[in-house]
Every structure is written in structure tokens, then in C-alpha cells.
Amino acid sequence: MEEQAVLEIRHVSKTIGSKKIIQDLSFEVYPGEVFGFLGPNGAGKTTLIRMIVGLMKMNKGDILIHGQTIKGRFEEAIRHVGAIVENPEMYKFLSGKRNLLHYARMFPGGIPQARISEVVELVGLKNRINEKVKTYSLGMRQRLGVAQALLHRPSLLILDEPTNGLDPAGIRELRDYLRRLAREEGIAIVVSSHLLSEMELMCDRVAIIQQGKLIDIQNLRGEGAAEAQTSYFFEVNDPAVAQAIVQEVDPALPVVLRPDGIEISAGRERAADIGTLLVQAGLRLYTMKPLTQSLEDKFLKITGSDQIA
């Protein structure tokens, strides 16, 4: 049985005046994955997030959360969502705990004290939660914002530029926390960011959006990513002989001759077989390594853009 998507974007379009902001976007986000939005300035990432959480209306299409449309069943749909669309706003003169207590009282029926303690532990603020928010670092405030968004046990967490203003240590801390949250709690997390290197480390999949259109979805982890072909470089003592051996065994496999070795495009298992073949043929194999593209390389190749934001 196929796993049900937490979030479904179905042919969504948004026009403001004569400008097309979002054009026929469709994709799904599943439980336990970190899903990223990437795109140049003005690509429509924030507009899409605002439509998901009901801050803007779409012109066409539909958005479903756990199968509930936000058009006709907004309250039922949005109860599954926790979100930080801008920087989390807190009462700085109150402690982190008092902020969470104040927010918890807004929910019908309230939120148990045990749940507040649970999310404080989850985001790693147990030792500082009774201190005033004005003493917190930016990274701590972001984590307090995440704690606030998690109080009502959402199954979808949406974060717009969560690493803005964080130092490298804070970025790493938030990234590791979000990945753990998705893995251990099974929450679907949607993240928008302009830091491609961080998205590569943080996300399972990323949607590349340009001029409001979905250009591609890159699978960064999991089965599809593992099976994808890449380029492998074999450093050998006689590259010409290595090229001849590989082409004799598999004439259809392109082999690029380099001064210090050969380069082929193949899956991991096939590359390992070729390495064994070269050694058995008497060649000295010094190294065998994948030549992978970074997410930034893929992004620029797909969009043809040098504006990454």
C-alpha cells in the first residue's frame, strides 16, 4: 500500500495583476521527510508557503493536507500544520517557558504541561527555558519558535528561511535537529532556504522552482538517489589499456580517457565490477572515486541561473 502524502500541491497557480507568480505547481510531501524549496529571487517560494498556510489565496488548483482541502475544510486541514513563515515572534521580556504557556492557552482545551516539557526537551532548551528570551541567541530563538510550532503535535512543519541570521554553529544545530525530528517523530518538514549547501545536507528531496514553475525535483537521499548513475574516475598506471579493456567488455559504455586514468558513467555496483576487472587484467588501480555534482552545480545546470536565493 502506497504511503499517503501529508501535503499535496495540485496544479496550483497564483496571479497578482498580470504577473504569474505560481504556474501549475504539483508535487507531494510524505511523512518523515525533509522537503526543500529552491529557486532564484522571485521564484515564488514564499508565495507558495503563504498559500499552504492560508495567508494567501490561490487562483487555481488545490492544496490538501492529510487529504483535507484548504479551500473547503481549512480548519480541519490546518490543524495538522505547524509553521514559522517569518522570524518567530516572542515576548522577549518573558522566559521561554512563559512564552510557550501563553501560546498553549490559545488552543481550544489548552495544551498539557507534559507536552510543553516534551517539546522543550525535544528542541534542547531544557537548561535555558526559564531564562528570558532576550538573553537567547538567534539560534535558541529559532528553536523556541520550532517548539511553539510543535506544541499541538502537527504532522507537517513548514519553515520559511529558518537559517536566516544564524551563525555556522546555529545552522548546523538546527539542521541536525530537523533531520532528527523528521526521522524520529515521522513529521513531514518543508523548508525554504537560499543556502544550497545546507539544503543538500538537510533535505531528502528538493523542488527547484523558477519563475513560478516546477523545473525539477532532486532526490538527495534514499533508494532513487542511491541507484542513480554518476561518473566514476579510475586512477591507473596505464589509462589507454584500461580504456581498451572496458570497451572490449562493454562497447556501449562511454569511457573518457584522462592523462592519469579513465572516467565512466555507471551505477555503483557496475563501477565496482569494472575496478575488479582492471585489477584482474594486471593494471595497478590507485584510486576509484565518484565524481558527484553538488546541489549547486545541479541547480545552476537546470535553471541556467546564477541568482540563488
Residue 256 maps to which CATH number? Answer: 3.30.70.980
Please name the residues in contact with 239: beta carbons below 8 A apart, sequence gap of 6 or more: 257, 258, 259, 260, 261, 262
Quote the percentage of the chain above a pLDDT of 90: 37
Q: Are residues 75 and 178 in the same domain?
A: yes
pTM: 0.73
Q: Are residues 133 and 189 in the same domain?
A: yes
Q: Is the pLDDT of residue 293 over 80?
A: no
Q: Which of 168, 198, 225 is the last residue of a domain?
A: 225
Asked whether residue 309 is assigned to any structural domain, the reply reads no
pLDDT digits (tens, 9 = 90+) for 14-51: 998 888 889 999 999 999 999 998 877 677 888 899 99
Q: Which domain holds residue 113?
A: 7-225
Q: Are residues 195 and 108 in the same domain?
A: yes
3-state secondary structure of 76: helix
- CB contact at 8 A, 16 and 6: no
Quote the mean pLDDT of the chain: 85
Q: Is the pLDDT of residue 99 over 80?
A: yes
Q: Are residues 12 and 107 in the same domain?
A: yes
Asked whether residue 298 is assigned to any structural domain, the reply reads no
43 phi/psi in degrees, rounded to 5: -70, -20
pLDDT digits (tens, 9 = 90+) for 131-177: 999 999 888 888 898 889 889 889 999 988 887 777 787 788 888 88
Q: Are residues 87 and 234 in the same domain?
A: no
Q: Are residues 71 and 48 in the same domain?
A: yes
3-state secondary structure of 184: helix
Can you tell me the distance from the alpha carbon of 182 to that of 179, in angstroms, rounded to the nearest whole number?
A: 5
Q: Is the pLDDT of residue 237 over 60?
A: yes
Lowest average pLDDT, out of 209-218, 230-239, 249-258, 285-294, goes to 285-294
Residue whose grid cell is 493536507: 65
Beta strands, E only, 205-276: 205-210, 213-219, 230-236, 255-258, 261-266
Q: Are residues 202 and 282 in the same domain?
A: no
3-state secondary structure of 38: strand
Q: Is 247 left (phi over 0), alpha (psi -120 to 50) or beta?
A: alpha
Asked whether residue 194 is assigned to any structural domain, the reply reads yes
Asked whether residue 2 is assigned to any structural domain, the reply reads no
Domain count for the chain, please give it.
2
